[in-house]
Amino acid sequence: MAVFKNNELILEHSFDRSTKRHYLNGQVSVLHCHHYSTLYTQLALDAQKTALLAESAEEAFYEYLAEYFDKHNLAAIATKIDIACQLYAAIGLGKMRVNYLGDDSGEVELLSSHVDSGWIKKWSTYDAPVNYIGAGYITAMFSAVLAEQRNAFQANETQSIVMGAETSIFNVVRR
């Protein structure tokens, strides 16, 4: 059983030279750049397929979080939240704070967002939220933290950095 000091995330990084793949704790991890994420987000907006971005992120992050919590025998909700927020930062998506996480709803605040800052650097502000990857991460986090099946929650971005706000706010509800 792993021993945690101050609820710190344990990251084991490896690189497979033959396949050119990075792994974090045994899971494939794609290192991304904000230029690429803005382009595929704009493509999803153009095709009206933004739900696909959130669903893909939820699927990938749910598996990672649920496996991590299980492997390290984590049961305390507060510890799981701490670990999930640390992972969000460690993989370069930004800084996240969970303001509230209940059985049926919650609120998450992004103090910084790689997706939003990339969009702003490339195209300036926008008239609607664009952080579908963040929404998918948040729904995965809620399901994994509460030991629910994936797709149990929906996250709606009600305040957005890309729209000019200082932070982004996601309201989360059970589906």
Domains of the chain in start order, with CATH, are 34-174 (3.30.1380.20)
* CA distance readout (Å), 127 to 90, 123, 160: 29, 12, 9
**pLDDT tens digit string along 88-143?**
998 889 999 999 999 999 999 999 999 999 999 999 999 999 999 999 999 999 99
Alpha helix positions (H), the chain: 34-47, 50-71, 77-90, 114-123, 132-145
Residues whose CB is less than 8 angstroms from the CB of residue 82 and which lie 6 or more positions away in sequence, other chains included:
7
**pLDDT tens digit string along 3-26?**
445 577 877 777 788 887 767 677
List the structure tokens of 138: 């948040």
Amino acid 31: pLDDT: 57
Residues whose CB is less than 8 angstroms from the CB of residue 136 and which lie 6 or more positions away in sequence, other chains included:
53, 54, 55, 56, 57, 58, 59, 60, 61, 155
**pLDDT tens digit string along 54-102?**
999 999 999 999 999 999 999 999 999 999 999 999 888 999 999 999 9
Instruction: State the angle between helix axes of 50-71 and 77-90 in degrees (0 to 180), rounded to the nearest 10.
Output: 120
Q: pTM to 2 decimals?
A: 0.88
